[in-house]
Amino acid sequence: MTSIQRHFLTLLLLCSALLAGCASSPKTLYQWEGYEPQVYEYFKGESTEAQISALEEDLQKIRASGNTPPPGYHAHLGLLYGSVGNDDQMTQQFQAEKALFPESSAYFDFLQKNFKK
């Protein structure tokens, strides 16, 4: 085996190792599903009931795969429930948000207290 062949073989092995290392991507912290498009639809004025339905469906997918929804997911869903007069569901969603992200507790306590006014 010549020196050029050895260098070529070494280069080929290094490239193969590099590509193999890039093959698997790390698991994401949160599973977003259709959350971002739903927030966009909210600002466009889509039906609140349609948004609630889409977010609940995506939440079931997220839970079924054993993942966590992103920050704000339950909050947004809670605000949607509150806007249609379903205060019990709003409270449940706010509690879920606070359980996942305890640093948001004071804000959601404030929202819930002032939402009824």
- Domains identified in the chain, total number: 1
DSSP letter, residue 65:
T
Q: What's the per-residue H, E or C state across 91-105?
A: HHHHHHHHHHCHHHH
9 belongs to a structural domain: no
Q: How many CA atoms lie within 13 A of 91 on its CB side?
A: 6
User: What is the chain's length?
Assistant: 117
52 belongs to a structural domain: yes
7 belongs to a structural domain: no
66 belongs to a structural domain: yes
Q: What pLDDT does 86 receive?
A: 94
Walking along the chain (117 residues) 10 residues at a time, the average pLDDT comes out as 68 62 65 80 86 94 92 93 94 95 91 78
pTM exceeds cut of 0.75: no
The contacts of residue 2 (CB under 8 Å, 6+ apart) are: none
2 belongs to a structural domain: no
Domain range enclosing 40 = 32-115
